Structure 1
Amino acid sequence: MTGTAIFWPMGALALLTFIVLGQIPLRRFAAVRKKEVTPDDFRFGESARVGSRVAIPNRAMMNLLELPILFYVLCLMAFVSGGVTPLLLWLAWAYVGLRYVHTLIHMTWNNVAHRLVPFALGNVVLMAMWAVFFANLAIR
């Protein structure tokens, strides 16, 4: 296994982020076309008139830019330091898979209790990635 393998889960998470990003204008334009909202409802973010179907992609996008930054940073640290291991790579894919599940739930039926499970598990996996990385770094 080469260290560049860590770029695949990074790319998969970036792809998910771009898919969600694409949903924001699609849903906003559709809502304006249907006269559910006006363009002014988006002047300073989203007004109270904006329905959840239109607002959820924006919130999902924020979720994909908050904690995942720690994922991207760690993956780059692992690559640069030569610290990509099979375990770290497996954890990276697990994290990305859980982010996909969380985002799918968020963007569809959006049951908070349902999406909490993959979100929390993803956070545990991310913390494990950091622990594994530094444990491996310490024993080199």
Structure 2
Amino acid sequence: MHSGILAPVALLALWSMVMLAWTLTTRMGALKKMGVDISKVRGTKPNMLDGVLPDKTMWVAHNYNHLMEQPTAFYAVALALAIMGMGDGLNAWLAWAYVGLRIVHSLVQATTNIVGIRFMLFVLSSLCLVALALHALLGALLN
């Protein structure tokens, strides 16, 4: 059985891979420009490159990390809704809105990084996710 919510799930997963490729290319380019031979670098700590690599390079990397955080809850909720047969209609629209807002958030963070815009996009996408989670909980409890 096909569920409408699965297409936005797949798109967000694919978008995460786009951001991964963008992160790798910008980081490798910045490291090369700095003359860093990554074959000689041993173990790093989270955020070790902040303040070392250009901010614009790190904005892309930070966004990729963000796509590994809250969207994991989106994947779980969306798949639960699909399994319960509740992945169409309003829930599919909320999922598309969530994914669209996250993609725009990525583009803002990776290019201009205007925090006020990013925050607004984050709040709007979070509201979509809260609605989806509530629908999933109600579906699980009432069915």
Q: Percent of aligned pairs with the same residue?
A: 28
Task: Please point out which of 87, 90, 100 is paired with 2:90.
Answer: 87
| Counterpart AA for 2:133 | W
Task: Please point out which of 79, 101, 109 is paired with 1:98.
Answer: 101
| Compared CA separation, residues 42 and 67, structure 1 to 2 (3 A) | farther
Q: Is the helix fraction higher in 1 or 2? A: 1
Runs of 4+ more than 6 Å apart: none
| Counterpart AA for 1:84 | G
1:55 corresponding residue in structure 2: 58
TM-score, structure 1 as length reference: 0.87
Task: Please point out which of 76, 79, 97 is paired with 1:76.
Answer: 79
TM-score, structure 2 as length reference: 0.85
Instruction: Give, in angstroms, the shift of residue 64 of structure 1.
Output: 0.4
Instruction: Give, in angstroms, the shift of residue 43 of structure 1.
Output: 4.5
Provide the aligned length of Structure 1 versus Structure 2: 138
Which stretches in structure 1 are left out of the alignment for 5+ residues? Answer: none
Greater RCO between the two (CA within 8 Å, min separation 6)?
Answer: 2
Equivalent pair of 1:88/1:133 in contact (CA under 8 Å): no
2:12 corresponding residue in structure 1: 13
CA RMSD of aligned residues (A): 2.0
